Amino acid sequence: MLHGDGTNRWFDKSFNLIIAKDGSAAVHFEHSWGDGVAVLRFFNEVFKDSTQIPAITPQSQPATADSTVTVQKLNFKLTDALKTGITAAKEKFDATMKTLTSRLPPVSERRQRIPKEAEAES
């Protein structure tokens, strides 16, 4: 629920590679027992390969494909029952989000507290 309005994530999938507009990326994956290590290893290998042997570099030539022909918009034909179900799900999500409270202290507070906590543990 900490990812926005809930309309662009598919948490029923094994993993999601989430790429933001600024190019930063994150991985969300389902944490069944034993699979976390394998998924982390997989994404570490993907990162390593994509940074050490990138398929596209600044010297790469633009693709010759005409995206206006090769990329087509998907049009979904939804019944009224599906539209009603989607609206109800969105309303339920929004209501649940309103009950969520979370607070992350500003970085300055965390920087001050972490050394004190570490010192107290020693």
Which residues, other chains included, contact 25 with Cβ-Cβ below 8 Å and sequence gap of 6+?
Answer: 17, 18, 19
How much is the pTM?
0.48
pLDDT at 116: 60
Catalytic residues: 31
Sign of the CA dihedral 80, 81, 84, 86? negative
Per residue in 59-81, pLDDT (tens digit) is 998 888 888 888 888 999 999 99
Per residue in 101-112, pLDDT (tens digit) is 877 777 776 666
Average of per-residue pLDDT across 20-46 = 80
Task: From 45, 52, 2, 43, select the one nearest 25 (Cα to Cα).
Answer: 43
- Band (pLDDT 50/70/90 cuts) for residue 48 is very high
pLDDT at 112: 64
Of 24-33, 39-48, 50-59, 66-75, the range with the lowest mean pLDDT is: 24-33
Residue 9 has pLDDT above 80, yes or no: no
